[in-house]
């Protein structure tokens, strides 16, 4: 909103200082600061309100040290994160940008699904919350919205450079270029790292090539479902999901800013995605919201984000990665989420297999997800979270290194 207001004031009245709102870096910095302030100030008020309404977490006794002490801690703290993302984005981002619109829809969509789950758990006293099939249906619904928008919307383009021999490339800038609607993405660790989803099955003939583009939408649904569930599973001990997500969000902010800046894209020899630089504002508002939430969520937590926050932050990360064409880097960048997900899948599968084969279920880990395994080994929550953050930072650095490691 402020961008449009000050652009008008600058154009019509030459308003002093209004031109600074043209700079993404300035607006991103202000969005970060505001999101931090909202999370810290509004967070305290929300916690008191939740305590008055006795919106406390019901804890299952899993035999973990210090677990029962958390009983009654307010949940639904994800509302803090969502508010701290939406307000700065609405104020400082360009609201006519298709990518910003898509991120706002994604945040609200999964935030509502998570809120409904928490509401059923807390107010309806149903520990199971929203049935799993309805969560998945919600994630599929968002996947359809995102996939169809990225596939069909004319504003979703990449810059293709045209060379003298008539060939085109999304990198290796030349003086001649055109912005085209394309399903091209980036393959990490490869020199010629462009992959077009529409050419996946070109070897099988024109019939399969015509249909291969449509595989992009199921892939989008898979990515959004996997990452949002991964964030949801990771949200098991104080500060783990919020801190890990802040690290991932900062990395995606770099990608968004570099991919949306023609000078940096040319210098780094990466794909230039027009108008994607605006996402840096959203990304840094997201980072500020997660860091601000940690003010109340680090050990011992005064509030839990609940599914309201965990589903939303996972979906946000997935959609951001898809927009900046870095979805194939998710296994590295979101390695913490991936390992947490895999630990649950392996534990359940192995238990069922051994029960069928030997008559008794056996386990790979002392408990899943993985962070509970380390708790069972006697590690304190703070140490587990700190070490997971360090691993997350290492994975983020490796992800950024793919800009040049080809």
Tokens coding 190? 């490869």
By CB atoms closer than 10 A (0-12, 13-18, 19+), residue 311 is buried
The per-residue b/e assignment along 215-234, b for 16 or more CB within 10 angstroms, e otherwise, is ebbebbbebbbbbbbbbbbb
Query: What pLDDT shows up at residue 269?
Result: 84
By CB atoms closer than 10 A (0-12, 13-18, 19+), residue 179 is middle
Q: How far apart are CA 101 and CA 92, in angstroms?
A: 13
**Among positive and negative, which fits the CA dihedral 344, 349, 352, 354?**
negative
Those residues whose C-beta lies under 8 Å from the C-beta of residue 379, and which sit 6 or more positions away, are: none
Global confidence as pTM: 0.93
**Nearest alpha carbon to residue 195 among 210, 164, 216:** 216
pLDDT tens track of the chain, all 406 residues?
A: 787 887 878 777 878 878 888 899 999 999 999 999 999 998 888 888 887 776 665 555 555 665 556 676 888 899 999 999 999 999 999 999 999 999 999 999 999 999 999 888 887 777 777 888 899 999 999 999 999 999 999 999 998 888 877 777 777 777 788 888 888 898 888 877 788 887 776 666 666 666 667 788 999 999 999 999 999 999 989 999 999 999 999 999 999 999 999 989 888 888 899 999 999 999 999 999 999 999 999 988 889 998 999 999 999 999 999 999 999 999 999 999 999 999 999 999 999 999 888 888 899 999 989 999 999 998 999 999 999 999 999 999 999 999 888 7
Those residues whose C-beta lies under 8 Å from the C-beta of residue 385, and which sit 6 or more positions away, are: 237, 238, 239, 240, 243, 298, 299
Q: How far apart are CA 297 and CA 299, in angstroms?
A: 6
Those residues whose C-beta lies under 8 Å from the C-beta of residue 309, and which sit 6 or more positions away, are: 77, 78, 79, 80, 81, 82, 111, 114, 235, 241, 242, 293
Query: What pLDDT shows up at residue 126?
Result: 77
């Amino acid at each position: 909103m402020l961008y449009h207001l000050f652009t008008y004031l600058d154009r019509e009245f030459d308003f002093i200082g209004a031109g600074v709102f043209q700079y993404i870096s300035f607006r991103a910095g202000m969005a970060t600061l505001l999101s931090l302030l909202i999370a810290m100030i509004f967070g305290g008020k929300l916690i008191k309100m939740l305590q008055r309404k006795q919106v406390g977490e019901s804890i299952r006794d899993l035999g973990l040290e210090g677990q029962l002490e958390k009983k009654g801690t307010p949940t639904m703290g994800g509302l803090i994160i969502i508010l701290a993302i939406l307000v700065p984005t609405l104020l400082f981002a360009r609201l006519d940008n298709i990518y910003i619109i898509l991120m706002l829809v994604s945040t609200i969509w999964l935030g509502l699904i998570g809120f409904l789950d928490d509401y059923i758990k807390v107010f309806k006293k149903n520990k199971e919350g929203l049935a799993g099939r309805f969560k998945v249906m919600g994630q599929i619904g968002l996947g359809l919205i995102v996939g169809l928008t990225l596939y069909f919307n004319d504003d979703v383009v990449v810059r293709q450079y045209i060379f003298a021999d008539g060939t085109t490339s999304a990198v290796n800038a030349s003086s001649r270029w055109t912005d085209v609607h394309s399903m091209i993405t980036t393959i990490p660790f490869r020199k010629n790292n462009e992959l077009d989803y529409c050419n996946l099955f070109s070897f099988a003939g024109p019939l399969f090539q015509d249909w291969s583009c449509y595989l992009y939408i199921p892939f989008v649904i898979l990515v959004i479902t996997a990452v949002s569930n991964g964030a949801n599973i990771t949200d098991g001990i104080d500060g783990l999901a919020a801190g890990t997500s802040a690290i991932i969000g900062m990395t995606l902010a770099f990608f968004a800013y570099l991919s949306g800046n023609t000078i940096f894209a040319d210098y780094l020899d990466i794909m230039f995605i027009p108008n994607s630089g605006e996402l840096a504002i959203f990304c840094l508002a997201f980072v500020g919201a997660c860091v601000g939430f940690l003010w109340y969520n680090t050990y011992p937590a005064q509030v839990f984000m609940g599914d309201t926050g965990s589903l939303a932050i996972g979906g946000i990360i997935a959609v951001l990665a898809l927009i900046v064409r870095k979805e194939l880097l998710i296994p590295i960048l979101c390695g913490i989420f991936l390992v947490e997900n895999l630990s649950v899948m392996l534990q359940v599968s192995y238990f069922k297999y051994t029960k069928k084969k030997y008559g008794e279920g056996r386990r790979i880990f002392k408990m899943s997800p993985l962070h509970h395994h380390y708790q069972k080994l006697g590690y304190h929550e703070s140490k587990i979270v700190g070490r997971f953050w360090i691993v997350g930072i290492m994975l983020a650095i490796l992800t950024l290194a793919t800009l040049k490691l080809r």
